[in-house]
Structure 1
Amino acid sequence: MKSLVFISKYAIVAAMILVSLIPFYVLLYLSLNAPSGNSFQGLFLMPDFHFANFADAWKGSKIDRATVNSLIITSGSVALIVLVSSAAGYSIARFRHKANAIIFNTLLMCLTIPAIIITVPLYTLMKSIHGINTHWAMILLMAANSMPLSVFLYTSFIRTLPKEVEESAIIDGCTYFTAFWRVTFHFVKPVTSAVVILTGLSIWNNYGQSVFFLQSQDVRTVPLAVSMFFQTYGAKWNMMAAAALIGLLPAVAAFLVFQKYFIKGITAGALKG
């Protein structure tokens, strides 16, 4: 009986994984099809292995420049998020007074507001500060969007750490600021990994706001480049799939490399808090 239950559990998990992988297989299949083919022609389990689709999609979508733009915006935003959110989380976790409680609750409320809702006032603000089609303004915007969740994760994690972690450094003459960066910050590496992956993937895949604020071809990110490519080659499924796969691979690769730290950080930062 126990063995039957065990097998059933794994069968259910295997079925769920299979269903989740089907869209990715279809995307891969279409990207390897010949220009005249689609998902309903030939043997569905064996594409034409037309690798020229990727070269054509890379050249036609100008995704090389878009990848550089995405790297600049994502890395800049993530660095700013980690620096500000970790310090804010430390202040809220260690100094519990009304002002910090109000700030923390306000940030939690911000988690319930979809970013797309505030796009119109943000566009007016971005235009007034000459931030349209600039990397620096997009970095600030993406960092601000991700700040509530990041502060929540850091606050929850730091609250689980004993205060003695930094008190010994303070006794030795460090300020709270230096004690945090020299001592406490080393203990928050798991949640930092989770913040980097969560916010990094979200910023890399952002389309809803990028389409408004990055209108010039020179500053378009990968999702925008792929979207414009779709509009140009909408009837060519093989080219569309190849472009989508090229844009997807960096995010998938990053997640596969750091998934262990992601799971550890989410568990420690959210569940313990």
Structure 2
Amino acid sequence: MNSAVNFMKHLAIILICAVCLIPFYILLILSLNKPQRIFYQGNLFVPDFYFQNFIDAWQKSHIGTAIVNSAVITVESLAIILIFGAMAAFTIARFDYKFNKFVFWLFMSCMMIPGIINTVPLYALMIRLNAINTLWGMSLVCATIALPSSVFIFTGFVKSLPREIEEAAIIDGCSWFRVFWKITFPLLKPSVAAVIILNGFGIWNNYAQAVFFLQDTKKHNIPQALSVYFQQFAGAHWNLMAATAVIAVIPVIVAFLIFQKSLMKGLTAGAVKG
């Protein structure tokens, strides 16, 4: 009985992995086919290994500029999220004031509101700040949308840390600000990795807000660049479209491989207390 159950579990895992990986495998196959080959002709699982597609896609799609733009937006947004999100979480977790509780639940309520709903008021604010078609403006938008969930994760993790270490530092003459940066923040590494992965991928692939705030083609991020390129060659150059998509997904895969070990640890570490 146990062997049958284990077999069914492993079979289910294999099927789930196949459903997730087969589309990416087909995408890779299409990116290696020659331009003369129509995507549904021949053996779908045997490519032509035509690597010139990647060179042509890089030059024609301007995906390199889009990758740089997405990287700048993601790094700036994550810096804002990590600094201010961690500081807010530390204040909420360590100072049990009514106002702090109100702020925490305000953040939690913001998590239930889809980010697209705030687009119109954000657009009006961005016009006043002259932040339309600027990477720093898009970074502020992404950080604002991601801050509530980040505060939630950081707050749970800070509550799981012992207070005695911080109290000992205060007795020795440290300020709360120094205690946070010298003692607490270095202990937040697992939750930092979790926040980077959960929010970083969403910021990297942001399209809903980028359509409104990054209208200049030179400021497009990866989803916008792919959308424009696909509209130009829809149904005509499947090999170039697939090669462009493969190039765009490589940085995401690399980032996930770097932070995957810390993801589950960061998500579960804050569940010990609070």
* TM-score bin, normalised by smaller chain: over 0.9
Provide TM-score, normalisation by structure 2: 0.96
User: What is the aligned partner in structure 2 of residue 190 from structure 1?
Assistant: 190
User: What is the aligned partner in structure 2 of residue 11 from structure 1?
Assistant: 11
Q: Do the aligned residues in 1 keep the contact of 2:69 with 2:220 (CA within 8 Å)?
A: yes
User: What is the aligned partner in structure 2 of residue 207 from structure 1?
Assistant: 207
SS in structure 2 of the partner of residue 191 of structure 1: helix
User: What is the aligned partner in structure 2 of residue 241 from structure 1?
Assistant: 242
Bigger mean CA offset, 263-272 vs 139-148:
263-272
C-alpha distance in 2 between matches for 1:246 and 1:271: 40
Structure 1 residue 256 corresponds to structure 2 residue 257: yes
Q: Do the aligned residues in 2 keep the contact of 1:54 with 1:242 (CA within 8 Å)?
A: yes
User: What is the aligned partner in structure 2 of residue 141 from structure 1?
Assistant: 141
User: CA shift at 1:39, angstroms?
Assistant: 3.5
User: What is the aligned partner in structure 1 of residue 78 from structure 2?
Assistant: 78
Which residues in structure 2 correspond to 1:262-273 (within 5 Å)?
262-269=263-270, 273=274
User: What is the aligned partner in structure 1 of residue 167 from structure 2?
Assistant: 167
User: CA shift at 1:271, angstroms?
Assistant: 7.1
Provide TM-score, normalisation by structure 1: 0.96
Amino acid at match of 1:257: I
Instruction: Give the share of equivalent positions with the same residue, in percent.
Output: 49
Amino acid at match of 2:152: F
| Equivalent residues, number | 273
Q: What runs of 5+ residues in structure 1 fail to find an aligned partner?
A: none
Structure 1 residue 66 corresponds to structure 2 residue 94: no
C-alpha distance in 1 between matches for 2:16 and 2:261: 21
Amino acid at match of 1:74: T
SS in structure 2 of the partner of residue 231 of structure 1: helix
User: CA shift at 1:245, angstroms?
Assistant: 1.2
C-alpha distance in 1 between matches for 2:13 and 2:85: 36
Which residues in structure 2 correspond to 1:117-136 (within 5 Å)?
117-136=117-136
Bigger mean CA offset, 248-257 vs 31-40:
31-40
String of CA shifts for 1:170-213, please: whole Å, max 9, x gaps: 11100111111100111111001111111111111101111111
C-alpha distance in 2 between matches for 1:20 and 1:71: 26
Q: What runs of 5+ residues in structure 2 fail to find an aligned partner?
A: none
Q: Do the aligned residues in 2 keep the contact of 1:153 with 1:270 (CA within 8 Å)?
A: no
C-alpha distance in 2 between matches for 1:149 and 1:272: 18
C-alpha distance in 1 between matches for 2:231 and 2:44: 26
Amino acid at match of 1:269: G
User: What is the aligned partner in structure 1 of residue 43 from structure 2?
Assistant: 43
Amino acid at match of 2:113: I
C-alpha distance in 2 between matches for 1:158 and 1:37: 56
Bigger mean CA offset, 231-240 vs 207-216:
231-240
String of CA shifts for 1:120-143, please: whole Å, max 9, x gaps: 121111111100011221111111
Bigger mean CA offset, 45-54 vs 149-158:
45-54
User: What is the aligned partner in structure 2 of residue 180 from structure 1?
Assistant: 180
